[in-house]
Structure 1
Amino acid sequence: MNVFQSLKSSGAELNSVVYNTVLDACVECSKLEKAEAWMEQMKKDGMSDVVSYNTLIKAHLQAGHMGKARALVEEMRVAQLQPNCITFNEIVNATVSSPDRRVRAEVWKVIQEMQAAGVKPNQVTCSILLKNLNGSSPESDINHTMQLINDMEEQLDEVLLSSVVEACVRIGKPDLLNTKLRQLMSGDIKVNGSHTFGSLIKAYGHARDMKSVWRCWKEMRTRHIKPTSITVGCMIEAVVSNGDPDGAWHLIQELGEDPHCKGILNAVIYCSVLKGFTREKNAGKVWSVYEEMQKRNIDLSIVTYNTLLDCCARCCRMDGVPDILADMKKANIKPNIITYSTMLKGHCQVGDLSAAFKLVKEMREEAGLVPDEIMYNSLLDGCAQSSLVDEGLRVLREMEEAGVKPSNFTLSVLVKLMSRARRVDQAFDLVKELSGKYHLSPNSHVYANLVQACCFSKQLQRGIKTLEEMMERKVQPDKRTYSMLFRTAVQQCQFDKVDGLMRGALGLSGALPFLSNRSLATCPGIEEVAVSETLSSMASSPEGNKVAAGLLVDLRKEKPSVRVDPTVQRCVLQGGQPPQSWTQERRSSKGKGRALVFAP
């Protein structure tokens, strides 16, 4: 202000640039009242312009004054000043970033207002909209944003290309991702930046298009574009997540020999390979990668050590844990809640519950950490695997006393615990009690375990009643729920129940009355082999074969896309059992990825 007054006193020519600089200073210093007062002075002196209004609009939006910002837009029009892209982009950004869902829903009204004012959305507008898209975004928002990009007159540049593919990855729709990648790469965009190559590699990796992943990588390397650690991280993650940790490790070793690239290798990049080998339960390769990291003096993080511990847990090699903890101590890295949770899970998986309980005590006393829901659930699962009901109930009481709220996963594990002890009534009581106490709505996994408990105790009618409750609560049954009910009903020769259940699962007419809502009752994931084996099992008795024949006729008529094994079809229609070779083939497929329901 003093400088401005000096200029004015000296007789220097003052223009809107000088006035706007003062206004900008007020905004930068968070003096909104002074900014508003100065704006009034500018209007009085005839120095206000579009820049002035945009500056003040931005200030009000940052302060959360959406109403005042919108009023300034109207004031601009009255002053015969045309709002421009900057004006609307600021409002669009504030709208989509609002914590209020109702405000966010207004963004398309702002876009319509922008277009009505003759201002066309540009790359900045599209980038703002893309930034806020994710897996929970409404379909309409996704479609409108993609259409805006298609209709944009500006040439799509490298930055926007990167934003589009990253948004498609976040949205999590493979079809959309593949479509946009084909559409974008068919244009004349020349990619020159390592970051954009990284975005494309990540996108192709999610689309499971490894040919294009390697094409992008080779093009970048051929053109001598130096990758950043983020680009390399995207490449390694894409290769690993598509089932080739060996290929990713080989690539890391190649980069390690390149004097221009070895400096960008870090623990995060190596960790992707460690996790890949860990998922494959390949402990030998995990230790080899770990040794290479030590040899290359890679700065190891807590994530690295937690991944190594996860490998011990998955491979049931808890004897390797002390050495890893010793290395952590040597590196002055303290265990965190994930460290303890991973070790706890490993002890529970190998059935060493005494070590698991000892670890929890040690965590509390030495590390000052308290168990979270994941740790309590691991303990409960360990108790369930070892059929330690009383210990499991004690863990549940301790969990509640610690103020840790149970989840649907907790309910599923508790049902499994009670089921293995043949305490079906107590399983139902616990679900009812905890659901009411903690306002939980049991999901399909909880119900599937309840149905399994009923089937194991040969309470078919109760299992069907549980399925009916699922329908009432709008919970869609999964294939496991139906498969267990099919099996139990066949074993008890209740073929009318098998008929009604299978018709409900497949969306056929004649289902059990409570399965009449096809959109909810139909199970898209029911395997065709399960259908074939159910029909073949029914065919072993005259009464069952009659029901199976009726099912097969309606299945051909109403759902011709569902394939039934030709041998089973002949067997059912001819009224006899399938050949022994077919039965043996089905049995031999068990454990090889085939979803067997039962063998006839």
Structure 2
Amino acid sequence: MNTNTVLLLPSHLQSSFSSFSHSSNPFPSTSSLHHSFPSTFKSTRSLLLPATANYTTNNPSHLSLAATTTPRNLLLTLLRQTKTEEAWILYTDSTHLPNTTCLSRLVSQLSYQNTLSSLTRAQSIVTRLRHERQLHRLDANSLSLLAVSAAKFGHVLYAASVVKSMLRSGYLPNVKAWSAVISRLASPADDYDGAREALKLFKSVTRRLGKFQDPDMIADSRPDTAAFNAALNACANLGDSKMFLKVFDEMPQWGVVPDALSYNILIKLCCRIDRKDLLVFVLERVLQLGIPLCMTTLHSLVAAYVDFGDLETAEKIVHSMREQRRDLCKILREAESNLFEDLGTGHDDDGGNDEDEEGEECVLQKLLPNLVNPTGTDPPLLPKAYAPNTRIYTSLMKGYMKAGRVADTVRMLEAMRRQDDSASHPDHVSYTTVVSALVETGSMDRAREVLAEMLRIGVAANRITYNILLKGYCKQLQMDEARKLLKEMIDDAGIQPDAVSYNTLIDGFILVDDSAGALAFFNEMRARGIAPTNISYTTLMKAFALSGQPKLAHKVFDEMVNDRHLKVDIIGWNMLVEGYCRLGLIEEAKKVIQKMKEDGFHPDVGTYGSLANGIALARKPGEALILWNEVKERCKVGKDGNKSDSSIQPLKPDEGLLDTLADICVRAAFFRKALEIVACMEENGISPNKTKFMKIYVEMHSRMFNSKHASMARQQRRVERKRAAEAFKFWLGLPNSYYGSEWRLEPMDGYE
């Protein structure tokens, strides 16, 4: 079995590896779970393979001239002198692979440089080694640094693959590396796939480490508190309390003790599972355990109540802190006293006996033992008085903003300005919150005044501030002001716009029906070296689709397909279908849908809705019948749960799609199909517009089947159609010949 191989960088590189950026999110995110990473994962007991046993002890200054005459020795010399750029050039010029020592050092130093270009170079070395089946030439230290660097630049799936590859190869990744990857995987709160992948990776590493009997062998890899917090964060994002408890219970097995951050994550879990009543118990548990209380915990509490929409309790927390009170737990208990009464009856006020709820309650009681008999003890006091800081005030401001309380948002900013403590003064996030609140109400002049004040007092506005203002101008169709603001952002503030800035402008020009302006900003974005996103392409496609230029939309789509940095999604396909359907070009739209299916995408409600509108525009009711049959089949799969045919995916239709199909069928006198569609609408909780359909029937079909001169054969052929028409009239509430209680139509013998 292979063991850890630790390579040490030169002494002047032994400073801490650059930390991940801190998020303003009050709940712990992956970027805040790790404050710093050592430049090398230096251990107290380094395990060295023979190939690398001597390279860390050599002194570059003592190299003889003969030792530097060969390319291999020259490369090693450059690496020892940390001349990474020269070493990279020498590596690329050589047709032969360097030895293990040089390769590992080069990958380590490139990863340590902390730039995207150096990461790309390190990745290219790994790719080459993989193709030549020489990955074993890299040691654990270099791969660990590569994983950290890749995670830092958002290449989390690549970073995870590096860690998995190390495990398969018998290497033990350093805890700073694998926990950083887990942190990044679980970072986006709404990325459930990332959270699940983070937990899988956590289990894989801990399972592997658990197989070692000698603790010294895994000293550098064993999970620490930060690693467990990363896994707990993934559980909280998933809202999985049972998995949270399972990970939490593993901490003592590894000699890890929960810290304040662990309980901050528990606050986040309470929000995810909609248990506001538990927040005070988390605070009390932290105090009972004697865990040093930090401002982040109090900030998380305020943010949690804001997230629940309970601004009154959030205000009580802030007011108590301003009054230097220590009895915060008592204040929160009184605020939630009605919920405590429910807890006293087993938290089952509806008399139910749901096993899942009981199981969750049991889990929560294990996480919070103080949850049992909460009224039996006096609430603990805070160890000292805490004054609210800028982050706490700003969280409350965000609550006011979400509630539409713009005046309170502005007043909070004024109150923060008057604070004696500089730690409570508004920062760029506070000002940006006020700007956002004003923009939401359309008060652009006042929002610009806030921006001007920021510049005057030296609080630097950032890209987010300007993007919010850009969105406000575009929403109000003030495109000239948006142009001026972009120029001011670049020339005066020195802030470079990003893809969000340009996407906002492109969308603004679509709103004013200026596809040329949208294209101009799309080209400007690329000229500035800003890579377009999926939204950039689909927004530009929307411009051409709305202006009746589907061929240009198709060209943009082809560019998106050829962009190797992007993966086409269903939105791009739908926008392409929309472009053709707006002109009634049904055959072209159907070709796109067929290609879409061949590429593994299943049409969704948006796809079918666009096609239905195109069919109505083209006046091809026969196409509507074909489309309805496909929609009906997928609705049936979704209803019955029958997945025997994996090629048919379930579909939940919306009102727009079904209403358009019903409209086409009624106009074309396809009453049987119209009845099927309105039945589907009612089954999905959608109320059909009977008034509209009655008007269509009276205007177009009220004189149907009144001809007395039709032949007997023709009259017989009309029997089923007339029967369907009478059933439809009954559904509308019109007088009819046959139906008095049931409008749903069963087929007659010999008819389908």
TM-score, structure 2 as length reference? 0.53
Task: Select the residue among 513, 522, 539 that pairs with 2:649.
Answer: 522
1:141 aligns to what? 201
Asked if 1:308 is matched to 2:374, the reply is no
Task: Select the residue among 495, 514, 519 that pairs with 2:624.
Answer: 495
| 1:255 and 1:262 in contact (8 A); partners too | yes
Deviation at 1:380, TM superposition (A): 0.9
Asked if 1:270 is matched to 2:330, the reply is no
Cα distance per residue 1:449-493 (max 9 Å; x no partner): 233333333334433332223222223444322333345546743
CA distance in 1, matches of 2:99, 2:307: 43
- Number of aligned residue pairs: give it: 494
Asked if 1:217 is matched to 2:283, the reply is yes
Change (3 A) 1:249 1:360: same
CA distance in 1, matches of 2:564, 2:249: 53
Deviation at 1:502, TM superposition (A): 0.7
1:105 aligns to what? 164
CA distance in 2, matches of 1:356, 1:424: 27
1:593 aligns to what? none
2:554 aligns to what? 428
Cα distance per residue 1:196-248 (max 9 Å; x no partner): 32221123223433233343235546888763111122223333334445543
| 2:533 and 2:566 in contact (8 A); partners too | yes
Change (3 A) 1:575 1:460: farther
Q: Name the structure with the higher helix share.
A: 1
Deviation at 1:377, TM superposition (A): 1.4
Cα distance per residue 1:413-436 (max 9 Å; x no partner): 112222332233322233334644
1:235 aligns to what? 301
CA distance in 1, matches of 2:485, 2:658: 48
Partner SS state of residue 367, structure 1: coil
Q: How do residues 161-172 of structure 1 correspond to structure 2 at under 5 angstroms?
A: 164=228, 166-170=230-234
1:54 aligns to what? 45
Deviation at 1:149, TM superposition (A): 11
Equivalent residue letter for 2:514: L
Please identify, of 482-491 and 318-327, the stretch whose mean Cα deviation from structure 2 is larger: 482-491
| 2:235 and 2:244 in contact (8 A); partners too | no
Unpaired runs of 5+ residues, structure 1, are 1-23, 33-51, 69-88, 115-120, 510-515, 557-561, 582-600
Partner SS state of residue 597, structure 2: helix
* Higher relative contact order (Cα pairs below 8 Å, separated by 6+ residues): 2
Partner SS state of residue 215, structure 1: helix
1:341 aligns to what? 467
CA distance in 2, matches of 1:296, 1:303: 17
CA distance in 1, matches of 2:248, 2:55: 37
Cα distance per residue 1:66-117 (max 9 Å; x no partner): 989xxxxxxxxxxxxxxxxxxxx99997897586756422454478x99xxx
| 2:251 and 2:257 in contact (8 A); partners too | no
Deviation at 1:127, TM superposition (A): 7.3
Change (3 A) 1:564 1:203: closer
Change (3 A) 1:457 1:267: farther
| 2:612 and 2:661 in contact (8 A); partners too | no
Asked if 1:284 is matched to 2:284, the reply is no
CA distance in 1, matches of 2:264, 2:565: 44
Equivalent residue letter for 1:365: D
2:576 aligns to what? 450
CA distance in 1, matches of 2:488, 2:143: 52
Asked if 1:179 is matched to 2:305, the reply is no
Cα distance per residue 1:511-551 (max 9 Å; x no partner): xxxxx997576355x35666875676577468534336678
1:395 aligns to what? 521
Change (3 A) 1:144 1:28: closer
| 2:397 and 2:409 in contact (8 A); partners too | yes
Partner SS state of residue 198, structure 1: helix
Cα distance per residue 1:287-335 (max 9 Å; x no partner): 1332332233513222222222222223221121233124313431233
Q: How do residues 546-565 of structure 1 correspond to structure 2 at under 5 angstroms?
A: 546-547=672-673, 563-565=683-685
Equivalent residue letter for 2:477: G
Asked if 1:418 is matched to 2:544, the reply is yes
Deviation at 1:552, TM superposition (A): 9.5
1:576 aligns to what? 728
CA distance in 1, matches of 2:248, 2:199: 24
Equivalent residue letter for 1:174: L
Deviation at 1:162, TM superposition (A): 7.8
Cα distance per residue 1:229-285 (max 9 Å; x no partner): 111222233333344455434422232223566645222233333334334443223
Cα distance per residue 1:316-355 (max 9 Å; x no partner): 2112123312431343123333332222221111111111
| 1:27 and 1:56 in contact (8 A); partners too | no
Q: Provide the identity percentage.
A: 18
Equivalent residue letter for 1:459: L
Change (3 A) 1:337 1:505: same
| 2:144 and 2:163 in contact (8 A); partners too | no
Q: How do residues 243-392 of structure 1 correspond to structure 2 at under 5 angstroms?
A: 243-259=309-325, 263-297=386-420, 298-392=424-518
CA distance in 2, matches of 1:247, 1:542: 59
| 1:542 and 1:575 in contact (8 A); partners too | no
Q: How do residues 535-554 of structure 1 correspond to structure 2 at under 5 angstroms?
A: 537=663, 540=666, 544-547=670-673
Equivalent residue letter for 1:169: N
Asked if 1:199 is matched to 2:269, the reply is no
CA distance in 2, matches of 1:129, 1:340: 32
Unpaired runs of 5+ residues, structure 2, are 1-5, 14-42, 57-78, 80-97, 102-139, 151-157, 187-192, 216-222, 327-383, 694-723, 734-752
Cα distance per residue 1:143-163 (max 9 Å; x no partner): 546878999999xxxx97885
Please identify, of 342-351 and 411-420, the stretch whose mean Cα deviation from structure 2 is larger: 411-420
CA distance in 2, matches of 1:295, 1:148: 56
Equivalent residue letter for 1:105: K
Equivalent residue letter for 1:277: Y
| 1:495 and 1:544 in contact (8 A); partners too | no
Please identify, of 485-494 and 269-278, the stretch whose mean Cα deviation from structure 2 is larger: 485-494
Change (3 A) 1:467 1:578: farther
| 2:237 and 2:272 in contact (8 A); partners too | no
CA distance in 2, matches of 1:184, 1:170: 10
Change (3 A) 1:325 1:527: same
CA distance in 2, matches of 1:316, 1:400: 31
TM-score, structure 1 as length reference? 0.65
